[in-house]
Chains A and B, each alone.
Chain A
Amino acid sequence: MADAVPEEPAAPASSSSTSNTASVLEAPYTWHYYPVLGVLNGPTSGSAEPATTQAGEHKGPLTPYARQVARSILRYFRGGGADASAGACGWDSAGPARVPRWQTVSYERVDDIPRRKSAGRSGAGAADELSPRRRQGELGGEGLLTPRWVDKQQRRPATVVSLHALRTDDAGAAALGDELARNRVCLAAYGLTYAAVVIVSRAQAEDAQQADARLGAAMQRGGLDASQFFVCRAEATAAAQHQRQQQQQQQQFYTFLSDLERRMYARASAYYADAFMRTQAKLAGIPQLPLPSRPGDAAAVGRSLAAGDGGSGEAQRLLQDAALVARFSRFLPLRAWLVRYHFKLAVFAECGGDRDTAQRSLWLAYAHLLAYVGEIASGAYQPAGEDPGSAEAAGPGWMWALSGGDSDGSRAHSLRMFGRRWDEALELLEAVHLRLVRGWLYQSLDAQALRSAMQQAPPISPVSRSGPRAAPQPATSAATSTSGGANGSLDALVLSVHAGECTPATEKLMEAERRRRLDHGGSARSDGSGVCFVALGSETADVDLLQAGAGAGAWWPLGGHFGVVDFGAPPARPARRPGLVLNSSLDASATAAQLPAAARYDAHLALAARQCVEHVGALAQALAGGGCGDGSSYASAALSRQHASHAALHAAAAASGVDFAAAFAAAASSPVLLPQWMWAATAAPMLQAAACARMRQQRLFAAEDASLGARDASAPQGASPVSSASPGVANAYVGAWLAAERAAPAGAAPDRARTLLTAALACLPGGSSADAAPDALVRLIEGAGPCTRQRMRVAGALADAFADAGHASRALVVVRALADRLRADGWARLAGHALQRAARYAEAAGDRHAAAEAAVELLAPQVADGGRALEDLRELWRLPPPAGATPAPDAVSVDMTRIHAAITCHAHWRHWRLAPGGGAMAFQVHLDCRALRQPLRLSELLVEFSDARLDVRVSRGAGGFVEAGGGVRLYDIRSARACDLELQPGADAVFEGCVDVGSAGAAPAAALVLVRVSAAVDGLAAPALRLSWPTCMSTAAAGGPDAGERSLGPMEALLASSAAVARLRDPALRVAPSRSGPAPQQRAAALAGPASSAPSSRRWLAAPQHAARLQARWLPLPEPPLQLPHADGSEPSFSAYSRCRVLSLPAAPEPGLVVTMPGVAALAPAYRGEALAVEIVVRNTHPRLPALCEGVDVRLASVGPADSAGLLDVDSASPSATPTSADPAAGDRASPWLSTQGAAGCGVRSAELLGLALPGGARSIQPGEERALTVFVHFPAAALSGACRSADAGAAVVRCAVRHTTDGAGGPLPLVASAQASIPVARPLHAEAEVLENQNWTQNHHQPLPPPASAEFCFRRPILVTLRNAGPWDVVVEQLALRPPAADALADALAAAGCAALRVEIAQSTTAEPPSAVVLPAGGALKHVFWVSVHASDIIRLPSEMCPGVLDVTWRRRPSHGNGDDRNAAGPVRSCLWMRPVRLVARRLQVGSECSVPVARVGQPLTVCYRVTNPTRRTRTLDATMHASDAFVFAGPRRSTLTVLPGLTAVLRFTLLPLSAAASSGSAAYAPGHAVFGPTSTAEKSGGNVTGQGWVLLPRLEIKCLSPNPAAPSSTNHAASSSSSLQPAAPPPTRAAPSAVFGSLPSSPAVTGTRGGDPAKTMDRAQQIIVDLAAELANNDQAPTDRSGAISPGLTQQCVGMLPACLLHGASVTRGCESDFETSDNEDGDDACSDAFAADTGTDDGDDEILRLDQTAIYCLPH
């Protein structure tokens, strides 16, 4: 063969199992197999010799022209191009588009052509050197198959063509004939067909006749017929003058070539068909072994054979033939023979152009080979000498027989793993696998091409079992029977459609397929009867047809291809289902692997994907059976190789336009899913898997190597390391693998992994191969777009590759970015995984900070569930820093708000604003440790503020906390600076402290911010580890790259969302959402966990102490305003996060004097009439500078209705008490005033006090010194006030300004410190008066009335006065008196009004002693009864309602009340309350009785006189009857009729003689209104318990009104019924007056207006009266002349109702009014006030009513 000159470059030799993907793809196994054409006298034949090219002289068989033509011919045979070397690669981009193609081999001589193997030469003795039967051959009698066999087949011609140039002479023609004859004879002897091509040059062509003669001679001499002799004439290739002629000549040339090729191909096909048949004959002689359901499941095969149900039973029968088995299993196991022959069949079929058969044979070869590998790995082939039935045998005993009974130990040994045959098997397995995948991909391209060709075809009508069906045809039954033979269940599911029975579209499809098969040299007949289209109806779309194949005993679906059509779609849209039927096979495989799919479903792609996926799994399973499980480096290496080869195939297919994603999408929408079909849309996952497997292999290899090394070191000398076992690998022969790997150059694996990962990154959308740098990876991770997460996955793998290569710092950068992104996306567990790697890489890189941050975050339970995070942290701290690491800082601080923290911290002020003057403010730091899993001991807790001087540092100590319940520990750090700082899991630790802002001096800023809380972890050596919780947005932002635009941290986002989600859009917050990822609130919601629940962020732990138990509860914090000025006053520093962390401070005092009035609030409100002491406190708060006080100015201003306090301020009414003009309330004479003394009436009455000096003498106030100054605010009381309660809302504002100077930079600096306080004013006392009714007063108050002769009527009434205290303070009433209103001024007024006879007196002798020094509490009342006597000479004009007088009260505020301040209790206050009018005398008949003696005595006569007074203006006729009594006899008219004229009094006088002094039965009785006047002292003193004496009832007197008088009294009636002696001088009555004269409401303005008088005059008169009365009460004789400013109109209006109408309206008005006589008739019945007086009169206006004056008792003594 050395003389053979192949056209294509030689393929590399066999590669080892560790060869990479490229070597696998370039192996001869993966070549495209084409028919081989031998070329004699080819264009390169002569060129091989140096003489052929000497100076262009031609010495070869071909002329230059003929050589050129020969090249064209060979180019055509090779496929139209010069890229014949493409056949050597694994993937041909052209694919099977040009068929057939040829593999051309040139030979110099015919003797060089290898001879064809004859069918009868097979046998052990004549075995080829490439056969396993030949022990001296390459396979050594035990090899499976070598690539040289493929190479030999690809160099052994199937037919030979020789190229010749026609000689120019006849001798040359004869020589040509001889050469042709020799070739013919030799090739016929070789068994090869032959054809000769003679090229006629242009010169020869010109003489066509001569050329034909020479050609005929040569053909005749060579013994060739027309089918073997071809002539290529020169004119066919000569350049034509015209373009058309040139095209015609070219067409003729190609016609010639086509004809030649067809003939050659027919011969080649016959050649390969013969070879195929010979091989198949050999295969038929071998017992057929079933395929196991799983690779390596040799036992299943044995069971199948034993049961005979796995096949037809022929295999079992053949296996029983010991001679047969021995013959085949002598050199190889039967499985290996099957593999070998099936592969040969595939090669021959492919060379013959039958790709369908080739694919099927390939699959069978693959299935048997995989089973073979599995059997090897499982130990089915045991070495010689071992007992096959022993327990250690991994395989069944029958397999031992198949492996060759006469094998020796060495050969059997090589059947083990990692032997030579193992490598061969694996190499061949991968090659066959790739060929299978590639074949399906090519078929997919075929299908696509066919579909595209059928785009314009008419739609296919639905054909199904349920639809109209054509007449059954033989082909239908054949297909059905075939499918039923494989699986009976398929019979009902497969619908065969014969050609001609379907639509024209189906016929067109069939014709296309028929043509294709004919081109391939298939056996389809031209009538189409050999073509069967298998289609599935819609009812079969959801059926798992693959179960059929599995049920038939195959674990792999039979290869082949078939067509599937889904007729489920409605026929209205047929255009969407182009190219449906693709099946064109009569093979049995078509019945076993029908795949349901949609119209666009590409079954070939699915098969390819499934092949790839399952190949990996199957090989892994086979390896696992041999002990190389997932934990072995060898398995990882195999996986890496598989994934890499698949990725290369994927990339090559994608470059050729094969869209795997389409198959993906179609399969995803399929109703039946088989995930194994799925192939990734890109090669990235495969590359990543390959890289990961590669890295894993290296790690495992290192571990295995280390383990083996340690074992070898401990093993005795001489032990072979090959026999050692390694971790995870049970097979001892893995040592060989390890030894080979150990010999490989180190460091290549990581680079290889990185290369794969970089390629994976480039395959993904949005990625490129240039992104493998760490910085670029970080940008990829932080970016967005499609496949972001897959890019992150690849980036993570790249980081691992970096770390494996020793670049830990680079890996750390990537992994930290990965953790940040995962944390932001809410994938805590993945973030934890990244953090674990980050901690590891940081430790390797010496980055202590990064390691600490990762380790601290790993404490959080949502990140990792490991319980050793704290121990790992401590372990990390104990490790020494690696060499070359950067020096560790003093402290490592971890920002806990940026990570998932196991401890969250909330720090708040108690209030958001510090009160002016207030010095301390409490704060709480809440450490939420509920997520902590182990106790964590802190060495220090530091609370930092914006003013560093106020920082609170707590160190570790003992105790210092109390259990507040609910798992909360409350630490008091207000004063203590050491406590037990051990945080307990599941508990809360609350540290409550306070900051005294004043103690540290004036705060320079307007706000004091809780900046940060940090804690140092105890138990760690230097550097210290501090956990930091920034509590202020500005502080937290300071740590970021951009304070204004930085993203929210997880906890910040969480708190922000819980606090004010809606306010996050406020631009003032300067909170920008994250650049990528979800919104902050969404992220916060994703991060919400039990340890960071929202309600705990803004609450305060209130811990009141009840008894011995602490009961703490959480209180919500007050809501501060959203914005407060920044520390420098420029921008708001508040955020939703830090709104409770900023304390607003009051304005800083400059230079330090603070004026306060602390006692005002305790004494307010002030009472009218008292002097309120106001203490002014001046304090120098400046830390250093004293202040020099220049003076204190106090000003007073009244606010509100001060005039409502009283009717008149007598003091202010005096001309000497003129207020100052500076006071805005100067016009109000009742305004308060200031003084420096408390006694009322002392000092200068002024509204301002200027220039007061501070007590203590010196004007200088030292820092921290405090001075107090007291001024008095006098609230003047009115001389006369209304008794009723008034709404007094007045107030006085005290403003105090302290003028002082301080030493500034430029000298003394004049400053003013001021303060003000508002003092409300109230009038505490008011009184009410009422007439007592139903009181048994007649016996207790006896006072003789004036004699009637004085012509004056007298009435006496008890008045109950109630004094109430409406103020908030207690009052001491020192003196209480009721003064009658009938003073001189009033008397004059009455006289002027015609009521001179009226006089009201207080019966002093009969009243009880008025109270004194009585404490009247706030809200309490004091009651006292005054007796009022009314004297009137004219009872007709007597006002029924009279003002009882003025209540004169002397009182003072109760001392020592409240806070013990009695400074305001010194001066008593006198208040005169004008009482409201009460009805003293009713306008009815008044009956009084009078006894001559106070005590009667038996036997001594006494006189009783009854006086009946008629105060009305009607004449009354009365019937008086005296009844007899047992105790008395009387003398006088027993019955009499009286006529009492108006205004007169009738007198009935009786003389009684007591008969008995025995007490009357019953209690002493009296008649209401009938007073028994007389000295009572005697009777009372005598007592009622003396025998024979007692109260005796007087005889009863009945007075009854007789016939009524005319309703309208007239003068006639008066004259007729009245006696002249009693004729009164009453004024003539009128009817024009209204009913009420005195009873008007005080506040009714109609009183003055409806009287018909001038209202202005009425008011003026009322003012005059009131002023006069007030002056009289004040004992001030000088009546004010200016009444206009004395009282306000409002007060006048209030007091008018308290004056009698006669005083208000004057005599003229009174005289003009109608008499009360007339009104009484109309009002007595319905006037409520009159009813109260009905008892007094004892009668009413009823005509028949009897006035009974009976049962009046008198004390009677016995005789």
Chain B
Amino acid sequence: MKLHCIAILNRQDSPVYLRNFDTPSDDVKYHSLAYTSCDVIEERMASSKSNDLFLGLLQTVEELSVYGYVLNTGVRIILVLSVPESMVRSSSVREMFQQIHAAYIAMVCNPFNEELDGLSNAKFESIISELSRIHSETK
């Protein structure tokens, strides 16, 4: 399972953070994946009545799989993974989301964080980088 992209959208479906772990030329592709995933997210949120934040698999494009996660505040977290042919436990993907969620909460709630609009916190970046390092290769 390789992590290709992490995107955080606000509740208006606008990107506030998007990091591409592949080549910069893939930026548009991952932006497009995140953007079109908003349709699926809206549909899932409208149809789902459970309190589970994890939305599961949103769409698959070629070898890429897009997973979604919605915070209680409406912030969306999107992961773009390439999953091997073996099955993937949803708990592992859910754990990745929870780690990002925790990092996001820690950054937002930090009273010394001056970046209120963008997500350019160093600690947050380090957590994301560590996450990408862990999931840097397809297993």
Q: Which residues of A contact B (CB under 8 A)?
A: 542, 544, 546-547, 550, 555, 613-614, 617, 667-676, 678, 680, 685, 786-790, 793, 822, 825-827, 829-830, 833, 865, 1078, 1082-1083, 1085-1086, 1088
Contacts and interface: CB of A to CB of B under 8 A. Distances in A.
A1082 B74 CA distance: 14
Interface of A is mostly: helix
Given A829-B31, A830-B31, 4 more contacts: A674-B86, A674-B88, A825-B14, A830-B32
Interface stretch (B58-66, B102-110, B128-136): B58-66
Interface residues of B, number: 38
A829 B90 contact: no
Interface in B21-43: 24, 27-28, 31-32, 35-36, 38-39, 42-43
A678 B60 contact: yes
A833 B31 CA distance: 10
8 closest cross-chain pairs (CB), A and B: A826-B14, A675-B65, A668-B56, A1086-B14, A1078-B12, A544-B87, A678-B60, A674-B87
B57 A1078 contact: no
Contacts, number: 110
A671 B91 contact: yes
A1079 to B, nearest CB: 8
A124 to B, nearest CB: 41
Given A671-B90, A673-B83, A1082-B12, A790 B36 contact: yes
B17 to A, nearest CB: 12
Given A675-B88, A827-B14, A1086-B10, A787 B39 contact: yes
B15 to A, nearest CB: 6
B85 A550 contact: yes
A546 B89 CA distance: 12
Given A546-B87, A830-B31, A1085-B117, A669 B15 contact: no
A829 B60 CA distance: 21
A825 B24 CA distance: 22
Contact of A672 (B16, B42, B43, B90): B90
B20 to A, nearest CB: 10
A614 B86 CA distance: 12
Nearest to A1077: B12
Nearest to B38: A789
B59 A678 contact: yes
Contacts of A789: 35-36, 38-39
Given A544-B86, A829-B27, A829-B31, A667 B39 contact: no
Interface of B is mostly: mixed
11 contacts: A546-B86, A555-B85, A668-B56, A673-B65, A673-B90, A674-B83, A675-B65, A680-B59, A789-B38, A793-B32, A1082-B12
Contacts of A1086: 10, 12, 14, 16
B57 A825 contact: no
Given A546-B87, A667-B57, A673-B89, A617 B63 contact: yes
A660 to B, nearest CB: 13
Nearest to A1082: B12
A671 B87 CA distance: 10
Contacts of A1085: 117
B39 A786 contact: yes
A790 B43 CA distance: 13
Contacts of B43: 786
B39 A547 contact: no
Interface string B47-77: 0000000011101111101000000000000
B57 A668 contact: yes
Contacts of B62: 617
A673 B87 contact: yes
Contacts of A550: 85-86
B88 A672 contact: yes
A264 B36 CA distance: 56
A673 B93 contact: yes
Contacts of A555: 85
A767 to B, nearest CB: 13
A676 B90 CA distance: 14
A487 to B, nearest CB: 14
A787 B37 CA distance: 10
B57 to A, nearest CB: 5
B87 A672 contact: yes
B24 A830 contact: no
Contacts of B14: 825-827, 1078, 1082-1083, 1086
A669 B31 CA distance: 25
Contacts of A787: 39
A640 to B, nearest CB: 14
B80 to A, nearest CB: 11
A1555 B117 CA distance: 107
Nearest to B58: A668
A754 to B, nearest CB: 21
Contacts of B36: 789-790, 793
Nearest to A828: B15
Given A550-B86, A676-B60, A829 B13 contact: no
Contacts of B63: 617
B133 to A, nearest CB: 22
B24 A865 contact: yes
A1088 B117 CA distance: 7
A786 B39 CA distance: 7
A825 B13 contact: yes
Contacts of B65: 673, 675, 678
Nearest to B18: A829
A1674 B90 CA distance: 110
B91 to A, nearest CB: 7
A583 B101 CA distance: 41
A668 B67 CA distance: 10
Nearest to A669: B56
A613 B63 CA distance: 9
Nearest to B91: A671
Nearest to A616: B62
A865 B20 CA distance: 14
Contact of B28 (A547, A670, A833): A833
A674 B65 CA distance: 9
Contacts of B16: 1086
- Most A CB contacts (10 A, CB to CB) among B18, B31, B85, B89 go to B85
- Most B CB contacts (10 A, CB to CB) among A827, A1078, A1088 go to A827
Contacts of A1083: 12, 14
Nearest to A830: B31
A1054 to B, nearest CB: 11
Contact of B60 (A670, A675, A788): A675
A576 B40 CA distance: 26
A613 B35 contact: no
A673 B57 contact: yes
Nearest to B28: A833
B28 A829 contact: yes
A669 B15 CA distance: 26
A1074 to B, nearest CB: 12
Contacts of A833: 28, 31-32
Contacts of A1078: 12, 14
B88 A673 contact: yes
Contacts of B15: 826-827
A629 to B, nearest CB: 14
B58 to A, nearest CB: 8
- Most A CB contacts (10 A, CB to CB) among B38, B81, B86 go to B86
Contacts of A617: 62-63
B98 to A, nearest CB: 15
Contacts of B89: 542, 544, 671-673
A559 to B, nearest CB: 16
A822 B13 CA distance: 11
A672 B86 CA distance: 10
B71 to A, nearest CB: 17
A786 B18 CA distance: 24
Nearest to B62: A617
Nearest to B94: A671
Nearest to B92: A673
Contacts of A788: 39
